Every structure is written in structure tokens, then in C-alpha cells.
């Protein structure tokens, strides 16, 4: 019997893992890529999301080869970018940057781009770029101070997590909600299915494992 293909998530993001789990999929390996995510000069947010997702997938593919693991594999990578116009907002790492991001987002519509990249068993590379428009209410100083105190902004694109307290800031959302969380599920599963990944077989295997536990 041929070996079951491995599913590799090229990310250490708990949110992306939770989203795949939500879809009934448990990756076999997590191979996060340590990349310089600094935008290039005059780089458009869309281009940045696509470039970084491709680079993450390629780094994970190289790491998998170095592990000398035989058999077919599917490697999924993603990168999420938040922008206002062409202005790319940095990930929340420092308080000052997070405060600046929230002030920029206050009362405005911004765009969330996620590039998803898949490297299939035959080495073919396929990409999707998903865009969601999000409008925030006008944030008071107390809104911003309280959100900063929560710590939810740390490490998040645009310095907010829509699945947490910042969900209360959203006035309107047009597009994929899971895209804003960090991994657009519909498009990711469509990429996998297009390369022959049997999602339903994974569901059945998970059900059997649960019953046998």
C-alpha cells in the first residue's frame, strides 16, 4: 500500500493550525520558515503577501528534503499583510508600532491580503491571493489603551486579532473572515483538492482514530 501523503504546514502560527483543525485536518509536520519579512522598496502589499508565502513554502520544501523523508508531500504556506492603500502596516512587535497601527486603522477601511502557496507531490507550485476589506469603527483612546493592555496585538499583522477583542472594532467585513484570521480556508482547501489531496479521507481517518481512542 502506498504511503499516505504528508501534509506540512510551513508556519508556526497557532491560528493557522487551529483553522486547519477546524476544517478537520491535522498537519503531519509544522516547518515554520524564519524569513526577513521586510517589504522591498515600493513593494505593493499584494506582491509582498505572494512573495513571502512562496518563499516560506520553498524554505519548508528544502527543510523536508534535508530531513530525508520519503514519500509524497503537500506543503502549505501563507503570509498575511494588512494595508491602508499602499501603506503596509507592520506586525505588532513594539507598543509604539501597535498604537500607530490602531490609530491608522481607526474609522477607516483597510485591506487584508493573504498569499497561500502550495507545493504538491510532483513539485508543482500553485498560489492564490485572497483579499478582504475590513472597516473599523472610530477608536477612542480608551479603546486603543485597553487593547494594547490586552496583549492580543503581539505578533499579529496590522497589530490586531479579529477573532479576539478586536472583533468588536469591526463595522463591516467584505470577503473571507478566515483570511483575516490568517488562512483563508475555502481557497486553501481548493488548492489542496486541485492537487489531488483527499480531504475526506483525512476526515474518515480522524473519525476512526477518535472511535478507537
* Distance from chain centroid for Cα 50: 12
Q: In Å, how far are 41, 51, 54 from 63, measured between CA atoms? A: 29, 19, 14
Please give the model's pTM, rounded to 2 decimal places.
0.90
Question: For residue 111, is it within any domain?
Answer: yes
Closest by CA to 119, choosing from 66, 68, 57, is 57
Residue 76's CATH number: 3.90.950.10
- Total domains in the fold of the chain: 1
Burial class of 74 by CB neighbour count within 10 A (0 to 12, 13 to 18, 19+)? buried
Question: For residue 1, is it within any domain?
Answer: no
Question: For residue 95, is it within any domain?
Answer: yes
193 is in which domain, residue-wise? Answer: 6-212
CB 113 within 8 A of CB 80: yes
111-126 residue pLDDT tens: 999 999 999 998 899 9
Question: For residue 97, is it within any domain?
Answer: yes
Concerning whether 79 is annotated as a catalytic residue, the answer is yes
> Catalytic residue among 79, 96, 145, 212, which?
79
Question: For residue 46, is it within any domain?
Answer: yes
Question: For residue 154, is it within any domain?
Answer: yes
Question: For residue 87, is it within any domain?
Answer: yes
H/E element holding 115?
Answer: strand 109-119
Read off the pLDDT of each residue in 1-7 and give the average, rounded to a whole number: 72
pLDDT at 3: 64
167-211 residue pLDDT tens: 999 999 999 999 999 999 999 999 999 998 888 776 655 554 445
Amino acid at each position: 500500500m502506498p504511503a499516505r501523503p504528508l501534509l506540512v504546514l510551513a508556519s508556526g502560527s497557532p491560528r493557522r493550525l487551529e483553522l486547519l483543525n477546524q476544517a478537520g485536518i491535522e498537519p503531519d509536520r509544522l516547518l515554520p520558515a524564519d524569513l526577513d519579512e521586510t517589504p522591498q522598496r515600493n513593494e505593493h502589499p499584494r506582491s509582498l503577501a505572494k512573495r513571502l508565502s512562496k518563499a516560506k513554502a520553498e524554505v519548508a520544501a528544502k527543510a523536508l528534503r534535508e530531513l530525508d523523508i520519503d514519500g509524497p508531500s503537500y506543503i502549505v504556506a501563507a503570509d498575511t499583510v494588512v494595508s491602508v492603500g499602499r501603506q503596509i502596516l507592520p506586525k505588532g512587535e513594539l507598543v509604539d508600532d501597535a498604537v500607530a497601527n490602531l490609530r491608522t486603522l481607526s474609522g477607516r477601511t483597510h485591506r487584508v491580503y493573504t498569499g497561500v502557496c502550495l507545493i504538491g507531490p510532483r513539485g508543482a507550485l500553485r498560489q492564490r491571493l485572497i483579499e478582504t476589506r475590513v472597516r473599523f469603527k472610530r477608536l477612542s483612546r480608551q479603546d486603543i489603551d485597553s487593547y494594547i493592555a490586552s496583549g492580543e496585538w503581539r505578533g499579529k499583522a496590522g497589530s490586531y486579532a479579529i477573532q479576539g477583542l478586536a472583533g468588536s472594532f469591526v463595522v463591516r467585513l467584505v470577503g473571507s473572515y478566515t483570511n483575516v484570521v490568517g488562512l483563508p480556508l475555502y481557497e486553501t482547501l481548493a488548492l489542496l483538492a486541485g492537487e489531488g489531496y483527499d480531504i475526506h479521507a483525512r476526515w474518515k481517518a480522524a473519525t476512526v482514530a477518535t472511535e478507537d481512542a
